[in-house]
Copies of this chain bind each other. A is one copy, B any other.
Amino acid sequence: MNEPLDIAVLGAGSWGTTLAILLDQNRHRIRLWEYFPEQASRIAEARVNETFLPGVPIPASIQIGSDLQVALDGAELVLFVVPSHTIRPTARAAAATGRIDRKTIIVNAAKGLEEHTLLRLSQVLEAELPSEPANILSLIGPSHAEEVSQGIPTSVVAAGPDVEIAAQVQHVFKRPYFRVYTNDDVIGVEIGVALKNIIAIAAGVCDGLGYGDNTKAALLTRGLVEISRLGCALGARRETFFGLSGIGDLIATALSRHSRNRYVGERIGRGELLESVLKGMVMVAEGVRTTRAAVDLGEREGVELPIIESINEVLFHRKDPQAAINALMNRPLREEMW
């Protein structure tokens, strides 16, 4: 149906590797770029990403390397799947190769906010790359790489300001097991997926405290209200938070055994300190960084964020997790509000 495209996938973590394989199944020509040369060689030789996606073979048709210039040469679509704090330097390096022009389609698949600037990730890409804003999108939703790589049915959202370009991206990525919706509310989609990681930490804290489904369900529900409030203040549409990038991603993250954010929260709930939890982790728990950024955003926008602020206190100021949850339960009662 589609013409095969030249696609550069930047970042060979579990999600980048998974999407590279999926795009290869759709007959696109894929170059998978990995920052660390040694890791790139290891994956290229073994034809499997033992560190991040063990057991899933990588087809020979996918080129793997750590030379950004080679990866981007002739790329019609560039997919960014790097940790959120490396997206700016990666974009800057990509721009410096001269291989990206205003027509290159850029798809961000990372979730988070940039610390200090408090920018969404597509805003960071817009600032660093020559691509036209209409050509910069995010592909996002409840999609654990471990499951997508096994062909388990998954639905995500392609979010961009131009509906037609979003529809193109939709067709580039869709597979029988990978359903892609479109949405032009980029702010809502990106804020939802960034901030839900904080609520996932809160859900993990409940698990660690031995609390059950009731507490978690209430926290997730009220957490989503907080996220949507902040998002609307930033210009998002409220209903976006009730879609795949909002509730959907929140559910998948907050209740999953795969979720690193939930797991960080669980260990904190059991009484460990953040430093010791993070020390033992290979992969990044984006929510830890996002918490600080969200608190700053809430202050800047004048939006009350009781759950997110509590998690901030627990993570960075050693507030007792049980006291934090109980305090949230005992705020003055009122109508169910938005």
Q: Is A333 an interface residue (CB 8 A)?
A: yes
Q: Is A63 an interface residue (CB 8 A)?
A: no
| In the complex, residue of chain B having the shortest beta-carbon distance to the beta carbon of A257 | B213
Q: Is A97 an interface residue (CB 8 A)?
A: no
Partner of A330, one of B176, B228, B242: B176
- A335-B217 contact, Cβ under 8 Å, with A155-B329, A176-B329, A329-B176: no
Binary interface encoding of chain A residues 155-177 relative to chain B, with 1 for a CB under 8 A from any of its CBs, else 0? 10100000100000010001011
Contact in complex: A249, B153 (CB < 8 Å): no
Contact in complex: A336, B214 (CB < 8 Å): no
Contact in complex: A251, B220 (CB < 8 Å): yes
Docked CA distance A221–B224 (Å): 13
Contact partners of A183 in chain B: CB under 8 A: 335-336
Docked CA distance A248–B142 (Å): 18
Q: Is A180 an interface residue (CB 8 A)?
A: yes
Q: Is A96 an interface residue (CB 8 A)?
A: no
CB distance from A209 to the nearest CB of B (A): 9
A143, A176, A239, A244 — most chain B CB neighbours (10 Å): A239
Contact partners of A249 in chain B: CB under 8 A: 217
Q: For chain A residues 261-279, which have a beta carbon within 8 Å of chain B?
A: none
Contact in complex: A152, B214 (CB < 8 Å): yes
Contact in complex: A152, B333 (CB < 8 Å): no
Contact in complex: A153, B329 (CB < 8 Å): yes
CB distance from A176 to the nearest CB of B (A): 6
| In the complex, residue of chain B having the shortest beta-carbon distance to the beta carbon of A159 | B336
CB distance from A199 to the nearest CB of B (A): 11
| In the complex, residue of chain B having the shortest beta-carbon distance to the beta carbon of A243 | B336
Q: Is A247 an interface residue (CB 8 A)?
A: yes
- A242-B224 contact, Cβ under 8 Å, with A218-B248, A335-B163: yes
Q: Can you report 7 A-B residue pairs in the complex whose CB atoms are below 8 A from each other?
A: A155-B221, A179-B330, A213-B255, A217-B244, A218-B244, A221-B248, A240-B336
